[in-house]
Chains A and B, each alone.
Chain A
Amino acid sequence: EIVLTQSPGTLSLSPGERATLSCRASQSVSSSYLAWYQQKPGQAPRLLIYGASSRATGIPDRFSGSGSGTDFTLTISRLEPEDFAVYYCQQYGSSPRAFGQGTKVEIK
């Protein structure tokens, strides 16, 4: 069973700053099956990145994903006010299809 650990738990930043979120897996994850989601209060998660680095339809290019094996990163190049939310990584290549525990990006 693959366990995903996200860090940091909370990231306090100002609009315009760069955000770097980490997702580390306990075993190697095929890059084809690593996704990132954004969730705002009271809303369903929204897919941002799939296949470790491919942006989902309609996702702004300030969001980018990278990494392979056990270490993956979500980068938000310049934070917009609407980007303050919780972000989850997920591996969906093997069962159980685990999620990380989430990183909250909050306004500093």
Chain B
Amino acid sequence: QVQLVQSGAEVKKPGASVKVSCKVSGYTLTELSMHWVRQAPGKGLEWMGGFDPEDGETIYAQKFQGRVTMTEDTSTDTAYMELSSLRSEDTAVYYCATVGDGYNPWGQGTLVTVSS
């Protein structure tokens, strides 16, 4: 059974970058397709991007193109999502989730707060 454990909460200043990790257990990362979703306070779910096994490439939502980078370290079965040029609107809980029949399971979420 796949389990995802994310890194802890972060506080960043505007203009900085943040890197959130998602550690996989129960499977190896190479067997999975990992995606990232965020949720601003009191708002809905927003898809950011992830690995598309059909194309063998990482795909990003247009909104985040040029600001987000999703990577994987298969030696430690850890996925990463780095978001740069942070602004206050990026304050949100960031989730990783594995994709198969739907998004399941999800990590517990990482709160990123952007504040001066």
Quick check: A50 and B101 within 8 Å, CB to CB?
A: yes
Q: Which residues of A contact B108 (CB under 8 A)?
A: 44
Task: For the complex, count residues of A whose C-beta is within 8 A of B.
Answer: 23
A63 sits at the interface (CB 8 A): no
CB < 8 Å neighbour of A99 from B47, B62, B101:
B47
Minimum CB–CB distance from B79 to chain A (whole Å) comes to: 15
Quick check: A35 and B61 within 8 Å, CB to CB?
A: no
Looking at chain B's contact residues, is the secondary structure mostly helix, strand, loop, or mixed? strand
23 residue pairs bridging A and B, Cβ less than 8 Å apart: A35-B102, A35-B103, A37-B103, A44-B107, A45-B45, A45-B95, A45-B106, A47-B103, A47-B104, A50-B101, A50-B102, A50-B104, A56-B104, A90-B45, A90-B47, A90-B103, A92-B102, A92-B103, A95-B52, A95-B59, A95-B61, A97-B47, A99-B45
**Which residues of B pack against A, CB within 8 Å?**
35, 37, 44-47, 50, 52, 59, 61-62, 95, 97, 99, 101-109
Q: In the complex, A59 Cα to B106 Cα: how many Å?
A: 16
Q: In the complex, A96 Cα to B37 Cα: how many Å?
A: 12
Q: In the complex, A74 Cα to B45 Cα: how many Å?
A: 18
Known: A35-B102, A46-B106, A102-B45; 9 extra A-B contacts, CB below 8 A, are A45-B95, A45-B97, A45-B106, A51-B102, A88-B45, A90-B45, A98-B47, A99-B37, A99-B47
